[in-house]
Structure formats: structure tokens, C-alpha cells
Amino acid sequence: MRNIALRLTYDGTQYHGWQVQKNEVSVAETIGNALTKICEHPVKLVGCGRTDAGVHALRYCANFKTECNIPTDRFPLALNAQLPYDIAATDAVEAPEDFNSIISCIKKEYIYKIHNSRLRDPFLTNRACFFPSPLDAERMKKAAKYFEGTHDFRAVRSLGTDTKTTIRTVYWCEIDSCEDIITLRICANGFLYNMVRAIMGTIVYAGLGKLEPDDIPGLLENGDRRLTGPTMPPQGLYMSRVWYEGVVGEMMTK
């Protein structure tokens, strides 16, 4: 049995997230149906993480088991011929038998984009969060740095999925501002449900002057979700990078 790892990219606008849903169209279901046609047997696809409705992926990893004899390097072309315009396979590699896209993942990076302008840009619809109130990017940069390190992040998560611990390690949390686009880039060994969007909401509160950047360590220690910023809309969120060891890691960093 072959274990094929895919590098994928997708616009999540038309999908109810990655995970297969009973009554909604998902990214995993769409790709799985395409692979089932190609491989001529039911395919169970394992993704590197859950992305919610409207969330995008610049780089995403998924793997599946198959006995079909299609050459590995032909899978992206064969798959793209079956996929809609907003999902694409960009590479494939034969992974070790025990490789699992979510369990084997070392760390992940997300970005969140805000269009901070009084006027909408139709070309950024569903690609960035439109936010017309003025934001202080320097305050936001200071606030972001307080999320770096190992902390209990229960104050910036939504309930909805069970987890053994709410402690995570954030390797970097940075704000970049270019003209009217403000971008958060955050990398961690794992993320809680809505953690990135809640962190972004808290950073936005700092940018609005609703809290001080140096309030954040106390808010994390307190752990009360009601005291931190809002969960930002999904449209500005992208999974941007994932890290693995071995041949899959090489594929994902090309």
C-alpha cells in the first residue's frame, strides 16, 4: 500500500472548511471525490489541520493510502484535471508508511490579512478582512510580541473541540504593515480552535487603544476569554506553511 503526500493550495471561500461535513461542501470531500475517481477506489484523505469555513491555504499537506499504480509525479496533474478552479495540487511525494499529515506535523504557520482603509477594495473581498477604523500598527507590533513563547492560550480560543491541554508554544508572532494592508504572521507547534483569529482580535484591540500591549501577559495568565479581543472573521486567514521531517518536509519547503 502506497502512502502519498500531497502539497495543496486552495481558496476556501466556497467551502465549509477542510473537514468533511454531512450537509455542506468541504475541501476534503471535494479532493477525496476527485482522488476516488483517479484511483478507482474510495480514498480516505488525512489533512494537516482543520481550516474553518472561508479560510484559505497557501500551503497545505494531506496524505492518503492507495494501491493504484499512477506515478507519484503524475498525481498533481491527474488531480487538477478533476478539481474545481479554487483548489490545486502543486506537488506529491511517496511518504513513509507511518506518515500522517496531522500527527507528523512539527509546526504550522498562519497569516491573517486586514485591509485597513475607509474604502473597500472589491479585489480583496474574501481575501482580507475589511476594517475601516484606523489602527495603530506600531501598537499592534508591540502587542503581537507578547504572544511569543510557551503559554496557556485558553484566553484566546473558542470552545468547540476537545483538547488535552491549552498550552502551546508560539515561535513567532509578527505584524507587518504595508500601505493599507496589515498582516499577522504566527507560527506555533499547534493551534487551539479559533486561536489565530482571537489573537488577531486582541492585537486589533491594542491597535484601537482598547487595551495596552503590555496588558496581554496578564490576560493570558487570567485565562478569561471575555477579556480578550473578538474572534476576527475567517476571510483574512490563510494557512501559509507546515513543517515535516524527511521527504515530505523537503516537498513542503520547495
CATH number at residue 19: 3.30.70.580
Residues 179-209 pLDDT 10s: 999 999 999 999 999 999 999 999 999 999 9
Q: Assess if residue 26 is contained within a domain.
A: yes
Query: What is the pTM assigned to this prediction?
Result: 0.94
State the Cα–Cα distance between residues 177 and 181, nearest whole angstrom: 6
Whether 224 maps to a domain, the answer reads yes
Residue 160 has pLDDT above 70, yes or no: no
194 shares a domain with 169: yes
Over residues 17-35, the pLDDT tens digits come to 999 888 899 999 999 999 9
User: Where a domain ends, among 104, 126, 149?
Assistant: 104
pLDDT in tens, 221-242: 999 999 999 999 999 999 999 9
Instruction: Specify whether 152 is located in the same domain as 235.
Output: yes
Domain boundary among 54, 73, 104: 104
Shared domain check, 233 and 120: yes
Residue 84 has a CB neighbour count (10 Å cut-off) of: 14
Among 104, 132, 162, where does a domain finish? 104
Angle (CA) 117 120 121, round 5°: 105
> Which residues have a catalytic role annotated?
52
The answer to whether residues 104 and 47 touch, using CB atoms and an 8 Å cutoff, is no
CA-based radius of gyration for the chain: 19
Burial class from Cβ neighbours inside 10 Å (0-12, 13-18, 19+) for residue 67 reads exposed
CATH number of 116's domain: 3.30.70.660
Residue 147 inside a domain? The answer is yes
Kindly state the helix (H) or strand (E) to which residue 151 belongs, with its residue range. Answer: strand 149-152
What's the CA gap between 109 and 161, in Å, rounded? 20
Q: What's the domain range around 34?
A: 2-104
- In this structure, which amino acid lies at residue 98? D
Number of domains forming the structure of the chain: 2
Same domain (yes/no): 121, 77 = no
